[in-house]
Amino acid sequence: MDVKKEETASFMLRFTQKIFKNENGEPQVQWRGNIRHVQGGDEKRFSEFDEVVAFIQNKLADLTIQALENKSPEEQKSILAKNFDLWKKMAIEGPKMVIETFKDPKKQIENFQDQMHQVKEEIGQKLEDTLLRPSKADYKQILTLLEGLSTEISTLNKKVDQLSKKKSK
């Protein structure tokens, strides 16, 4: 049986904008910040978006390598191909997203809020599913109750049989 293992990698990204004048007195803007891998706690400061992408790639590569350890060569090839597809998309879409955020921050905030709403619904559903599942203690309690009911039914059946025998005499 193939057991599916789900790994999560979350990243907290903070941008800081610095506006200054260069030597010629012309206004300049610089974006920098830091990125943190939530699960591992590793953090890195950056001044170029390429550094962010490299940080994320390294963390996800580590997860992928761990996932490949016990896989056949065919499975490894398939998993790696899917990862490369993800990074092709990231290389195209990531910079566009950052540029769009700088152009129209309000729109990107709305997009982000929509994404957070979707995540909230997914997490809420997972929590609800988890909370609805009985625990081992619940199962044991249910089994104990069922055993008790079974004993009581057996006792009642014996009494009914005795009463039936007395009536037939």
Q: For residue 22, is it within any domain? A: yes
Do 154 and 86 lie in one domain? The reply is no
Q: Are 131 and 148 in a shared domain?
A: no
**pTM of the full predicted structure?**
0.46
| SS3 of residue 28 by DSSP | strand
Same domain, 90 and 151: no
Sheet architecture: strand order including 27-37: 11-21, 27-37, 43-46
Same-domain pairing of 159 and 105: no
Confidence at residue 51, expressed as pLDDT on a 0 to 100 scale = 87
**Does 21 fall in a domain?**
yes
Domain assignment present for 101: yes
Q: 2 in a domain, yes or no?
A: no
Which residue range(s) make up the domain with 98?
11-136
Beta bridge partners, 18, equal: 30
Contact 28, 19 (CB under 8 A): yes
| Mean pLDDT per 10-residue interval, the chain, length 169 residues | 66 88 90 89 88 85 79 78 73 72 69 64 58 64 72 73 70
- Do 152 and 69 fall into the same domain? no
Mark whether 148 and 85 lie in a shared domain: no
DSSP E strand stretches across 9-155: 11-21, 27-37, 43-46
Residue 23: the pLDDT is: 93
Residue 169 lies in a domain: no
| Residue at 53 is within a domain | yes
Pair 86, 149 in one domain: no
Q: Answer yes or no: is 3 within a domain.
A: no
Is residue 60 located within the same domain as residue 126? yes
